[in-house]
Structure 1
Amino acid sequence: MSVAKITLTHRESQLRKLLLDVACYIDESKEVKEKIELRWAGGWVRDKLLNIESHDIDTAINVMTGHSFALKLKKYLEDEQNLKRHSMVAEEVGSLHKILANPEKSKHLETATTKVLSFDIDFVNLRKETYSDDSRNPQMEFGTAVEDAERRDATINALFYNLHTDEVEDFVGGLDDLKARRIRTPLQPEQTFKDDPLRVLRLIRFASRLEFNIDPQSEEWMSNSSVMDALKLKISRERVGVELEKMLKGNNPQSSLRYVDKLGLYPAIFMDPTARDILAPDTTRWSQAYNCLQTLESNNTPGSIYQILVRSDDARYISWILAALAPWSTVPNPEKSGSKMLPLLGTRVAQEGIKANSKICAHINGAFKNYNQITDLKNAVAQGRAFINERDTVGMKIRKWDADGGNWRIQALFALLVEAMNHPTSSDAAIDALFSGWQAFIDHLDNLDIMDAPAEKPLINGSTLMRQLNAKSGPWIKVALDICMAWQLRNPGASGPESESAAIDEVRKRSKELEIPVNK
């Protein structure tokens, strides 16, 4: 075993002393035969050694369940003298949350989580795991520190800080891998990934987040066909979606997608498992889409394409999902099933493959539905077509796109990414020309002051229309309201009774065409 030293902050030292006192408190009670040993495990140790601030601490216990230890901690801190001894007040101790044992999900031992001294602490027992061939959920029981280290996904996540010796313990070579900036599995990669194929995605996430390299042997097994089959068979799509979300919301989503591309994992991740008759799309040019998005994101200056189109963290996340799904834009959508219109393929992959929520799926559906129309408008601007200066024509297009799932700007970004992916060359000159065309498009819309057309509040509602035209309700109202909105877009800033009358007059002129049913 290798060891190393780390320097604790004042608050970390305060927490260490508290937990050691609780361990002594339990030992003195003689309720547990063996002496309590406490270790901080995994991510906190790794981040501490990398000088990354972390307030999430997993505390591993040798001979008690996490929940049993946490109950003793709570009882210890109910004594005001103990609070004073550790310079604490009651408000620095949060509620205790028990995570129940659940044999059906192979959670055979109870754990607990709480907040103490501003740290979010999970209490767990040291564990060893036994896997079956058809499930990633192991049989779990008490284990040693070595067995606990060996069951983890990567050596750098298998380090322990022993609270009693004040040393970092390394049973699997994690310290050397940390220095080498290397991601490696504690056991042989074949066993690690077949036991739990989700570790493939976890290793990609950590390599991308920390900007580490994955060791060649691990990479070889990550792309092995049997491991990919296990990833499809043993891992729920919800868990795939959770890992993907962490990747794409992280600091380096481009790196995550590059690993997926390099290792040939696209069919195992971005797929609809319910559509067995549909082949995975060609990903030969996929890198041009996600590299394009990274280039755009790196130029977040005022007025840039990215700054105009991506205006929130949620929008950033959706933009990376769309970059991931871009290859599905090249696959024809299946025909209708009878009278039922099937969801677009990209939407189906989001729904069934990565279990995205309904709001995200709506954005994705709008992007896949409208990217060709948005590209056509961009090309029309480049060609100087006459209608591009008609504020109502352009504004109504934008409003329609936004109605299809919301956030038409993200749909426009997807159109750009699809064009970049389908471009015959990825040379700097070609990408610069592509960006120039889209920048000119955005600048044109900005000059028309039409970017926020979907937010335009209607002057007229359906009730007003029926009253002013002495008309009955019917399908004509939707078209009539669009006519009123187009009038508004031609007359920006218009308001008041005169403007309302002028807009309604536009509808009145077309009453025969609209077949407006008049009250008698």
Structure 2
Amino acid sequence: MSKRRSKALGDTSDTQRPSQIRRMATQPATTAIELNAKETQLRDLLLDTAKYVDRSKTTAEPVVLRWAGGWVRDKLLGIESHDIDTAINVMTGEAFTSKICELCEQPETVEKHRITDTDIGNLHKIARNPDKSKHLETTTIKLFGYDVDFVNLRKETYTEDSRNPQMEFGTAEEDALRRDATVNALFYNLNTGKVEDFTTGLTDMQSKLIRTPLEPFQTFMDDPLRVLRLVRFASRLEFAIDPAAENVMGDSNVLDALRLKISRERVGVEIEKMLKGNHPRRALQYINDLGLYHTIFTDPSQPGIPKPDISRWKLAYSCYESLRVNKTPGSIHDVLVRSEEASYYAWVLAALAPWEYVEQPARTGGGKPPPPLGTLAARDGIKAPNKLCDVATAAHNNRAEIMSLKDAVLQKAAHIGERDRFGMAIRRWDSRGGHWRLQVLSALLVESMQALGAESDASDTNGDFLRSWQLFLDHLEELDVMEAPSLKRVIDGTQLAKTLGIRPGKWMAPALEVCVAWQLRNPEATDPAGAVEEVKSKRTELGIPAK
């Protein structure tokens, strides 16, 4: 779809683009931006700081300041942004921010710019780390409610024996050309009050096109993380990706570089931003279409493990998107996904769904079993947090029981009215990984890859498949077991031991579960006597010692 759209917009071939960029560099395209009151206050302080530096005659030429990249793009799109990157022509970010602090110590500056105690925050220096493709040293300071990064204009030079670029002071044009996308290569010149476009950024903004400033293959080989950044921006902005870039984003050389050069933490950051963004389904569609799945959602330390079949993966993430879009009170999404964190977890589980059809390696030796392959893909592929990995593991381990209970409800088995059977199952799911509702959602998404037709886009929310899961959830609601994990016990361990007249021991935990099961069968009971009798009747089974 994106390729057709880009061609309709009028693609510019790579052989034409260098000369086009050179022409634009002489007279960069421009437009105006109207600043709000806070942005104006910030600009005025920064310009006064530049004049303060100029008066000191410590730089070879006057200081020119530019707001760069994302803020300019979002401002032109009418999107609110509180992160501002500031590029400086003749100073490092650390040196310039120290001058801001110096100037703001002067009473006349405080008065002129109406600076309050909370307007100027602390400096934070972020060191470069070339081994993890963090090539820039930046300095960040909170100013008038904005997180403002300062860094010098730079150019990148590469040597044949190293993928890590040498960073040098550069011109605005050189800085623009080294960026990941033309729409992120725009500058707002604080000195002139004009936008500067040294590439094709303004044109591509109008065309809703994500394009690399220079030749795509070399751009991605220089920094393979740009592949994921382009996917993120295309999905977030609902732009198309330039066909010339699409053609090489899945190139084996680019993917190998992405595996070897980029830290998995940085891969994870990009994926998290995609899935927490406003169009996560679109991001997963790009990952699918461009052939990026096996590079992202995998354990890179185990190249020999089988790859999941992703031919039907689209059904899983499209199914979740359909649930999300068609959310109504009491619907599947409304019941199972109840927070922003849960929504992010749900998208990750949708991404991991194909791993559930890969046979787990046979367990050898004793000790704790290894995590499921899907959990390894989350943990080592995108460095998912432990809590999310625990949910993925529990979803895998509990899927068979979830499916069994769901099938029992559909088949109207004789035991489906047993409140304790369902309530205790939910308590087990939740105790083993938390987020039991997401474990149920994961089972649904995994099943969708088989149950839905190959040509389905999972948009039919009234279909038999989703209706069966709605019926299962409605049954849990009717049994009133949704909050089983947080059920307040009618008797605690201390009271139980005292009633039995024995000391606490290993028997305590299973005995308390017997009490909870009794409580689920007797929801109106307030006297624990019946629960105690239930425990006594199972004394031998529970290993409760004699008095």
1:297 alignment partner in structure 2: 324
1:217 to 215, 221, 244: 244
Change (3 A) 1:313 1:49: same
| SS of aligned partner of 2:125 | strand
Shift of 1:473: 4.8
Query: Are 1:460 and 2:484 an aligned pair?
Result: no
1:254 alignment partner in structure 2: 281
Change (3 A) 1:108 1:177: closer
Shift of 1:6: 1.4
Within 2, Cα distance between the matches of 1:413 and 1:109? Answer: 41
Change (3 A) 1:136 1:49: farther
Query: Are 1:447 and 2:470 an aligned pair?
Result: no
Within 2, Cα distance between the matches of 1:130 and 1:251? Answer: 35
1:394 alignment partner in structure 2: 422
Whether the 8 Å CA contact 1:300–1:307 is kept in 2: the answer is yes
2:259 alignment partner in structure 1: 232
Query: Are 1:75 and 2:106 an aligned pair?
Result: no
| SS of aligned partner of 2:199 | coil
Query: Are 1:480 and 2:511 an aligned pair?
Result: yes
Moved more, 288-297 or 457-466: 457-466
Query: In the alignment, residue 235 of structure 1 is paired with which amino acid?
Result: I
1:185 alignment partner in structure 2: 212
Change (3 A) 1:372 1:7: same
1:492 to 523, 527, 536: 523
TM-score (norm 1): 0.95
2:468 alignment partner in structure 1: 437
Shift of 1:343: 1.1
CA deviations 1:388-442 (Å, max 9, x no partner) are 1111111111111111101110000001101111225154669721111111111
TM-score (norm 2): 0.91
2:340 alignment partner in structure 1: 313
Query: Are 1:159 and 2:166 an aligned pair?
Result: no
2:399 alignment partner in structure 1: 371
Change (3 A) 1:132 1:310: farther
Within 2, Cα distance between the matches of 1:430 and 1:56? Answer: 39
| SS of aligned partner of 1:59 | strand
1:43 to 70, 89, 92: 70
Whether the 8 Å CA contact 2:429–2:436 is kept in 1: the answer is yes
Within 2, Cα distance between the matches of 1:134 and 1:314? Answer: 43
Shift of 1:385: 0.7
CA deviations 1:53-80 (Å, max 9, x no partner) are 1121111000100010011111111111
Within 1, Cα distance between the matches of 2:481 and 2:261? Answer: 49
Percent of paired sites with the same residue: 55
Within 2, Cα distance between the matches of 1:360 and 1:470? Answer: 42
| SS of aligned partner of 1:258 | helix
Moved more, 16-25 or 305-314: 16-25
Query: In the alignment, residue 489 of structure 1 is paired with which amino acid?
Result: L
Query: Are 1:115 and 2:142 an aligned pair?
Result: yes
Within 1, Cα distance between the matches of 2:164 and 2:274? Answer: 22
Shift of 1:100: 4.0
Query: Are 1:8 and 2:35 an aligned pair?
Result: yes
Query: Are 1:414 and 2:442 an aligned pair?
Result: yes
1:176 alignment partner in structure 2: 203
Within 2, Cα distance between the matches of 1:122 and 1:352? Answer: 30
Query: In the alignment, residue 142 of structure 1 is paired with which amino acid?
Result: F
Moved more, 463-472 or 70-79: 463-472
CA deviations 1:82-121 (Å, max 9, x no partner) are 1222233343222222334567667777531111122211
| SS of aligned partner of 2:384 | coil
Moved more, 102-111 or 211-220: 102-111
CA deviations 1:12-37 (Å, max 9, x no partner) are 22222221111111111111121111
Within 2, Cα distance between the matches of 1:172 and 1:459? Answer: 70
Within 1, Cα distance between the matches of 2:534 and 2:218? Answer: 72
Within 2, Cα distance between the matches of 1:397 and 1:455? Answer: 13
Change (3 A) 1:75 1:493: farther
Q: Which structure 1 residue ranges, 5 or more long, are not aligned?
A: none
Query: In the alignment, residue 92 of structure 2 is paired with which amino acid?
Result: T
Aligned-residue Cα RMSD (Å) equals 1.8
Whether the 8 Å CA contact 1:105–1:137 is kept in 2: the answer is no
Whether the 8 Å CA contact 2:199–2:213 is kept in 1: the answer is yes
Within 2, Cα distance between the matches of 1:132 and 1:450? Answer: 63
Higher relative contact order (CA 8 A, sep 6+): 2
Change (3 A) 1:455 1:123: same
1:198 alignment partner in structure 2: 225
Shift of 1:168: 0.6
Within 2, Cα distance between the matches of 1:386 and 1:101? Answer: 64
1:470 alignment partner in structure 2: 501
Change (3 A) 1:72 1:500: same
Whether the 8 Å CA contact 2:296–2:381 is kept in 1: the answer is yes
1:60 to 82, 87, 91: 87
1:126 alignment partner in structure 2: 153
Within 2, Cα distance between the matches of 1:141 and 1:67? Answer: 15
| SS of aligned partner of 2:482 | coil
1:273 alignment partner in structure 2: 300
Query: In the alignment, residue 125 of structure 1 is paired with which amino acid?
Result: N
Within 2, Cα distance between the matches of 1:221 and 1:53? Answer: 33
Query: In the alignment, residue 483 of structure 1 is paired with which amino acid?
Result: V
Shift of 1:488: 0.5
